[in-house]
């Protein structure tokens, strides 16, 4: 998912807008985790990037993403860029031999 979210919307309270953005991101995480894992994969991990624009987005963990959204709201950004890519995590060879 690569998307620009508008944090300031007319006729909507900023807290409700933020809640709807967080809900959409969490729903994406849940939908991706339900997908079938490739063979020898252990779980789904997410590569996340966050910033005011796509050019200046920096790497964040999936748990830091929600805090970054809160910080963006506190700084009164008009919009923010969120990129979330699912990737499978595979067993290492040492773990597979045990």
d(Cα 70, Cα 26) in Å, to the nearest integer?
Answer: 15
d(Cα 78, Cα 81) in Å, to the nearest integer?
Answer: 11
- Reported as a single tens digit per residue, the pLDDT across 4-51 is 999 999 999 999 999 999 999 999 999 999 999 999 999 999 999 999
pLDDT given for residue 92 in this prediction: 79
Mean pLDDT for 60-70 is 95
Are 81 and 89 within 8 A, CB to CB? no
Partners of 80 in the β-ladder: 5
pLDDT given for residue 33 in this prediction: 95
96, pLDDT greater than 60: no
- Strand, helix or coil for residue 30: helix
Are 12 and 85 within 8 A, CB to CB? no
89, pLDDT greater than 70: yes
- Strand, helix or coil for residue 25: helix
d(Cα 88, Cα 72) in Å, to the nearest integer?
Answer: 29
């Amino acid at each position: 998912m690569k998307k620009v979210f508008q944090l300031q919307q007319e006729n909507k309270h900023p807290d409700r807008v933020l809640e709807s953005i967080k809900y959409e991101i969490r729903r994406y995480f849940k939908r991706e985790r339900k997908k079938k894992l490739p063979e020898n994969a252990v779980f789904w991990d997410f590569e996340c990037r966050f910033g005011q624009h796509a050019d200046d987005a920096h790497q964040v963990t999936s748990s830091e993403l929600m805090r970054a959204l809160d910080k963006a709201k506190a700084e009164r950004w008009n919009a923010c860029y969120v990129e979330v890519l699912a990737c499978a995590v595979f067993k290492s060879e040492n773990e597979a031999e045990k």
